[in-house]
């Protein structure tokens, strides 16, 4: 109990020191600044792909989808990067990263689905809220950035590390799946993109054998099978015909 009270006091003090940002939430300006700084750190670690055609394609699909977001004050930047992982992620401020390795395994519809999903995490403020939560936790336990940045990303500033490893709740993921589907539809792209991307990610996970080769993007709940199911239901509920393609991904 004593420790609890002490932690609460530390928490309150830390929040005051943080200038109230943790209370009120980050402003758009702060979010953009955070993204910009983290991107600079990321790009010390990741290399931009030299495949100009693919990078231009990412930029083109990305812009179409980003034109449909609700928070217009966030400008989106798309980066095709080389990394030995099947991954795509977005950070606050609208930076979207797609690894070449995952890109090559996907069809245009699947790529759009992934982009729609990632953009939704930013547009619905899942990303910045998850970061705020991390910050609060770090303040409560008095964990410094250096400790948090240990391990794989030890050479990367803690902000970039934290942003690159944001974890979302099950409901955030579902929101991003359905929201990403809506963005693809609004952009005039294949409505089944997110649905197909899940099937593809599941296929990659099943065929890669080694657990370490699993798509990093899948390392969160809910289970891919459930996502496929609710996405199909969602599309059908909108009167969209979902072709019988699940066997094609086995």
Binding status of residue 176 toward Zn ion by CB under 5 A: yes
Contact region for Zn ion (CB under 5 A) — 31-39, 107-115, 169-177, 179-187?
Answer: 169-177
E strand map for the chain: 47-48, 77-82, 88-91, 95-99
Binding status of residue 127 toward Zn ion by CB under 5 A: no
Q: Judged by CB, which is closer to Zn ion: 7, or 70? A: 70
Tokens 């991954």: give the residue.
87
- Closest-approach residue to Zn ion (CB): 176
Binding status of residue 119 toward Zn ion by CB under 5 A: no
Do residues 26 and 34 lie in contact, with contact meaning Cβ atoms separated by under 8 Å? yes
Comparing CA positions, the residue from 5, 2, 34, 4 lying closest to residue 134 is: 34
Give the nearest distance from C-beta 77 to Zn ion in angstroms.
18
Do residues 228 and 201 lie in contact, with contact meaning Cβ atoms separated by under 8 Å? no
Q: How many residues bind Zn ion (CB under 5 A)?
A: 2
Give the nearest distance from C-beta 126 to Zn ion in angstroms.
8
Binding status of residue 130 toward Zn ion by CB under 5 A: no
Buried b (16+ CB within 10 A) or exposed e, 132-158: bebbbebbeeeeeeeebbeeebeebbb
Give the nearest distance from C-beta 117 to Zn ion in angstroms.
6
Binding site for Zn ion (CB under 5 A): 173, 176
């Amino acid at each position: 109990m004593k420790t609890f009270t002490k932690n609460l006091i530390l928490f309150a003090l830390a929040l005051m020191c943080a200038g109230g940002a943790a209370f009120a939430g980050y402003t758009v300006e702060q979010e953009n600044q955070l993204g910009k700084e983290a991107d600079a750190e990321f790009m010390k670690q990741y290399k931009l792909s030299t495949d100009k055609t693919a990078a231009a394609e990412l930029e083109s699909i990305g812009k179409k989808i980003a034109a449909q977001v609700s928070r217009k004050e966030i400008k989106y930047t798309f980066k095709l990067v080389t990394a030995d992982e099947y991954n795509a992620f977005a950070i606050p401020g609208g930076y979207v990263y797609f690894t070449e390795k995952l890109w090559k395994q996907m069809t245009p519809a699947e790529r759009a689905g992934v982009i729609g999903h990632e953009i939704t995490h930013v547009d619905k403020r899942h990303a910045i809220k998850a970061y705020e939560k991390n910050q609060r936790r770090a303040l409560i336990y008095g964990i410094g950035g250096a400790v948090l940045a240990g391990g794989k990303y030890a050479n990367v500033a803690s902000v970039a590390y934290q942003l690159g490893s944001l974890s979302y709740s099950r409901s955030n993921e579902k929101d991003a799946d359905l929201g990403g589907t809506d963005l693809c539809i609004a952009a005039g792209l294949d409505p089944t993109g997110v649905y197909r991307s899940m099937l593809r990610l599941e296929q990659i996970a099943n065929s890669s054998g080694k657990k370490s080769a699993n798509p990093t993007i899948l390392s969160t709940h809910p289970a891919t099978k459930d996502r496929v199911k609710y996405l199909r239901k969602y599309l059908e509920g909108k009167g969209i015909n979902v072709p019988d393609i699940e066997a094609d991904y086995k």
